[in-house]
Each structure stands twice: as structure tokens, then as C-alpha cells.
Amino acid sequence: MIKLPDRAVDLLLYSLSAAFALVTALTSTLMPHRAWGAIAAAGYLAAALLVYLVRRRDLLVWAAWGAVALLPLVVQAVQRAAGRTDRAQEEVLVVEHMGESLLHSGTPYLSRAEIAAIPLDERLLGYRPYQPGMSLFGLPRALAGDHWWTDARIWFAVVTVAAIGAAIFLLRDSPTPSLVRAVQAATVLPVTALTLATGGDDIPVLALCLLALALVATGRPGWAGIAVGAAAACKLFALPVVAVLAVQAIVTGTWRRLLPGALGLPILALLPPLLVDADALIENVFRFTLGHGLVTSPAQSPFPGYLISQAGPGGRYIASALLVTAAAVIGVLLLRRPPRTARSVALFCGFGLLTAILLMPTTRFGYLLYPAALLLWAPALSKDTGSSAPRRDTALYRH
């Protein structure tokens, strides 16, 4: 198999990304996406032209991220604060509404009756299908009003920069090519850059999960539990990472340090909404997510699970059965051949989430950023300094 030089891969990545951004700017039906593409195309093209001119590949990655994600984000936030209503995806509004509700009522969720009172064409925005921790990103706007710097995406970016920066510092002794590729996956890939600039709620969750893996790889399970617990307190997508890290911690004997943060923070985040209005929490996080809300989620991408669910009257049940079967198989593998290193955890989570995303009846193309980043992050964790040596690793990817 021919292995391309690292800079040749960089050139290909930035060039293809520039083409993707240009096509997005010209053809997307979503105005925030078009606005992102118009700026990001130039950023990716500049990065491609500089591949062989900039000595430090890692510095080029950070510069590219600023050009293709952070700059479009700030531009859209400024335009939105000036009155443009087409410069943010709906999830940004939902998160900011969560912050307002938390500030005024003590819970980020509306009850079923309150959602039913919203006009039908606006009812979808009444649902907040995130964990309570996500509402913290909406508090700046609730407290200080409509400014560019109170846009929830700005605070998504702040947490992301801090988490990715800390992870890179921890992994600074990893092989440079692997680390650069890992950072590219978490920052400049179009699926991550576009998501941060236009919606953003998945990016800090992903960044905290990647930080947790770096902390495990460098022998800091207690802090890893806090990082992944904070991610799970914001979004359910982090729970598979919590589960695999918990198994790894039990196998390696570090569970007393990891589990308090990994499980405690999500539970603590749930307590206030449960005490204020438990049914509102259930309505938003569970009923709506499972398709039993007053309206259904518009999340639809042409993956196998969605196509099967639309194939006929029993399609949804077949897709659900396939998803449950896949989850059972992954669960059995996880228990019989548990991961012992951060690298194997990343691979387990990456392949597991990829399988789930492909088989879910309702999903989004953007969710692919999770498995893409996790799988490309794994090689940077190869110098694992955790409690167990890699040669004893029996994860599912080993033969």
C-alpha cells in the first residue's frame, strides 16, 4: 500500500476542503452554511498554498482553523448581533433559550403544555433535547443581552480551544505526524469547522471527550472523569465514551478515580431540572429524542438506518432492530475484550459511534464528526502511559 508523505496528505486535505467549502457557498440551502463556505473556501485555499512554505505543520493547522472556523464564526456572530436573522442554525437559538429558561425558572426545559401553546410552525424550537449542562452556554446572552460575544457559539469555541489546547499539551511527546493529523480532525475538517461556525453545540462536547482520552493516556484518570463527565452533562452523545472509559477504568483498576467525575457530573446536572419539573426534563430529553414529542426531529440523512426506516411500514422497526443488535454485539465485545489503553478506547468509541450513526433511523450527517475525530485521534495516543501497557491490550481492533 502506497503511503503519501504527510505534506502531500495535507495538500490533498486542504484542497478538497476548499472545494467542499466553495460548493457549500454556491449551493447550500442553509444561509449560515453558505456564509461559512464563502469565507472558509479562501481559508482552505490559503492553507493549501502554504503547505510546502510553512515549516511547522502544527502552526499551519492552528492558522487554518482560525481562518476556516473561528473567523466565520465571529463574522456570523457580529452580523447576527447587528440584526441578521439568518446567521445561526436553530440549535444556537435553542441553547440560548435554555440559558434564558434556566435563569428565569430554574430549569432549561419547557413543559409539554408550554410547548403545545407555541404556534405549530415554531413548536420545534420549544424542544431542548440536550442535557442541562448545555444551558450554561446560553447564560451569557440571558445575562448580558444580544451582543456578538454573547452568541453561544463564541463560548462553544472558548471551551473547544481550551480543551484541545490542553490535550495537545498533554500529548506533546506523541509522534508529531500523528498529533498533527489528530488536531486536523478535531479542528479543520469541514465537518468540524462548519459545525463550529454555524451551530457548534457538538464541538465542545467532542473536544472534552478528546481531552479525556489524552488525560487517560497520560495517567490522569481523575481529571479524565471530570472532562468526560462535563461532556456528558451537556449532550447524550458523550455517554458511549463514558461507558467505554468506565470499562477501561474497571479493567485497569482506576475506576475509583475516574467514575466520580464521569458519572457524578451528569447526575448533578440532572438534579435541579428533576426537582423543578421532572416531566419537562423527560419530555425534552427522552420523549422528543425517541420520536414521541409533539413534533418530530428534522434530523434526516441518507444513511442505511434512515433509508431502511423509510422503505415500508415495518422499516422503522427493522432499522431499530438492527441498531439494537449492533449495540448488543458491541456490548459483548466490550465486556469480553475490554480496552486497556486510551488508544483502544478511542478506536472502540469511534467504530461504535460510526456504526450507531449509520444505523440510527434519525440522524444527521454532522454527527460523523465524532467517529472521524475519535479514530484519527487514536494514533496520537499510541505512547500510552496509562496503568496498563499496550502489549496487554485486547481491544476489538487487535488480532
Least confident of 165-174, 282-291, 372-381: 282-291
The Cα 27–Cα 30 span in angstroms is 9
Q: How many domains does the chain have?
A: 1
Tell me, yes or no, whether 367 lies in a domain: yes
- 109 vs 324, residue with greater confidence: 109
Least confident of 58-72, 105-119, 169-183, 196-210: 169-183
Cβ atoms of residues 37 and 53 within 8 Å? no
Q: What 3-state DSSP class applies to 277?
A: helix
Residues 6+ apart with CB under 8 A from 381: 171, 174, 213, 214, 217, 341, 342, 343, 346
**Residue 159 pLDDT > 80:** yes
Average pLDDT over residues 254-281: 96
Tell me, yes or no, whether 322 lies in a domain: yes
Q: For residue range 71-108, what is the model confidence (pLDDT) as tens digits?
A: 999 999 999 999 999 999 999 999 999 999 999 999 99
Mean model confidence pLDDT for the chain: 90
Tell me, yes or no, whether 398 lies in a domain: no
The Cα 323–Cα 113 span in angstroms is 32
Tell me, yes or no, whether 397 lies in a domain: no
Tell me, yes or no, whether 313 lies in a domain: yes
**Residue 392 pLDDT > 60:** no
Q: For residue range 281-317, what is the model confidence (pLDDT) as tens digits?
A: 999 998 887 777 888 777 667 778 778 877 777 777 7
pTM of the model as a whole = 0.91
Range of the domain at 319: 6-392
Q: What percent of the chain has pLDDT over 90?
A: 74
Q: What is the pLDDT of residue 178?
A: 84
Tell me, yes or no, whether 399 lies in a domain: no
Tell me, yes or no, whether 21 lies in a domain: yes
Q: What is the pLDDT of residue 367?
A: 86
Tell me, yes or no, whether 89 lies in a domain: yes
How many Cα atoms occupy the beta-carbon half-sphere of 65 within 13 Å? 20
Cβ atoms of residues 110 and 125 within 8 Å? no
